[in-house]
Amino acid sequence: MITPDPQGWTVAVTHPDTARVKTPDVLDLQDAPALNPGPNAQPRLRLPVPKEDVWLSSAYDDDPEMRVWKDGRRLPIEVLRDVEQREDATVLVGVGGVELEARVSEEYNDDRRHIAARDLVTDNTSYEVDAPEPETATLEDTTLQTVDTEADWLAALADENEDTDLWEVSADGELRRRQTTYFEVADDDNTIRGARSVEDPDDFTRIGQDFYVFDDTVRNNVESGIQVTFDLEYEVPFDELVVACRMQFLTEDDTDPGSAWHHGFTQRIDGVDIDPVGPDIVGHDPDEPDWRTFLASDASGAPDTIGPGEVEVEVRFNADEGTTDDPDGDPQTAIDAIALYDGRHEPTLGGVTDSGRNAEIDFYNGSSVVQTSDVQSAFSIPSARLEAVVNDTSGNQSVGISNDGGETWTDADNSDVVETSFEDLSSRLRARFEVGGFDGETSNAAGQVNAQAVDAYELFADITQEL
């Protein structure tokens, strides 16, 4: 066991074969001892001892263990690396940090430099590391990104805006939800072959200003009905479409009180029959029309998709063919509204609001979540804030920010601002937005009839000037 001298130098070199420890005296020459630990340099010590040829033995060629103390304190010298012979002394050249001589390869993306250096050493050597956090300046509330035009949005978003998406970037620079339900009331412009407008049958409330009755009086043994053109905002799988019509069967069946009968009718989307209904006796509520839905999923000869663009929807009542149950062959069917919607986003189809002849129906169902690409900073970002210009913050609406490429998010529901501090620092940020629809009224509808839209946003960051 070596007992270091509390005053002066102590050296111990272990013979690699015999394990014998040599502890020569240390000489004091003009240029040695000389320790050169140096910042960012490998510790190196030149230590003169009494001259002996034994130090030239090949046994000391392969970095034998060398320990050195100065005034009782251990120095970071690990091995005898070289021997120099002088006329008056032998100089032992010792080095430390030999584990750092191994070459390793690691990749760091967002780690701060002092942390990366610490981890690199501790993961690959047995050394303890002193890597203090550097003193750095912080630039507060720095604008990192501003988006407020169509070109800005398209450049910032992580994904391209496709025709099949339920969101869009509009020409006036808004990120908005696309409409999934389309609605129209019956009026003189969209009825076929002389259907006649009547007063409210049986005193029930109609949607809009008109309620049209189709019967043999106006039909004259040819098809009649309603025909509407809707402007779809996105591409929809044809077999997901649903036509909804608000009908009332007015001719009660004599043999089955509480039921009514009709001649049958056909629904068409751009000329394709989707769900024809033959003459039938149906249960009915004499005091209120019912929404009846017809699926396009079984249509024959239909295209795979339809839209975006204009789509023609028809509900045609069959010509009088008579029925076994009603020899008179003159049933009456009334209709006041028609809708087309994407069946993957089924709307609420209600009655009429208390405020007037407005249908309870949602044009925007569900919500879309859209995120941007990363915006980079030259330095680390300890905290950030997103401010958006949003026309409505109800329902599922939210805004969020991420500093790890979208792996984790800080969100603020029903808000146009989100602010957070990050525990794990990086030099990148991205934003995301969730938009749907919100309540309002049109001339003939009430419900989620308005699209939520983000008009613009800004990303702010506190930037720490550190690497």
Average pLDDT, the chain: 85
What letter does residue 19 receive in the DSSP assignment?
Answer: -
Residue type, 431: A
List phi, psi (to 5°) of 183: -145, 145
User: In whole angstroms, what separates CA 173 from the centre of its chain?
Assistant: 20
Please check the confidence at residue 142 and state whether its pLDDT lies above 70.
yes
Please check the confidence at residue 324 and state whether its pLDDT lies above 50.
no
Please check the confidence at residue 210 and state whether its pLDDT lies above 80.
no
Task: Of 181, 186, 182, give the one whose Cα is nearest residue 337.
Answer: 186
What letter does residue 252 receive in the DSSP assignment?
Answer: B
List phi, psi (to 5°) of 291: -75, 125
Confidence of residue 128 (pLDDT cuts 50, 70, 90): confident
CA distance 341 to 266: 17
Please check the confidence at residue 203 and state whether its pLDDT lies above 50.
no
Q: What is the pLDDT of residue 107?
A: 85
Asked whether the beta carbons of 202 and 211 are under 8 A apart, the reply is: no
Residue the block writes with tokens 């106006």: 218
Asked whether the beta carbons of 168 and 446 are under 8 A apart, the reply is: no
pTM of the predicted model as reported, rounded to 2 decimal places: 0.67
Residue type, 25: D
The partner residues of 213 in beta bridges, in order of sequence, read 196, 334
CA distance 27 to 13: 16
CA distance 400 to 412: 6
List phi, psi (to 5°) of 204: -85, 155
What letter does residue 65 receive in the DSSP assignment?
Answer: B
Residue type, 31: D
Please check the confidence at residue 327 and state whether its pLDDT lies above 60.
no
Please check the confidence at residue 194 and state whether its pLDDT lies above 60.
no
Please check the confidence at residue 279 and state whether its pLDDT lies above 90.
no
Q: What is the pLDDT of residue 464?
A: 85
Q: What is the pLDDT of residue 352?
A: 77
Give the E-state strand segments of 132-264 in sequence order: 138-147, 167-169, 175-177, 181-185, 191-192, 196-197, 212-214, 224-232, 236-237, 241-249, 259-262
Is the backbone peptide bond immediately before 4 cis, with ω within 30 degrees of 0? Answer: no
Q: What is the pLDDT of residue 223?
A: 59
Asked whether the beta carbons of 448 and 466 are under 8 A apart, the reply is: no
Please check the confidence at residue 200 and state whether its pLDDT lies above 60.
no
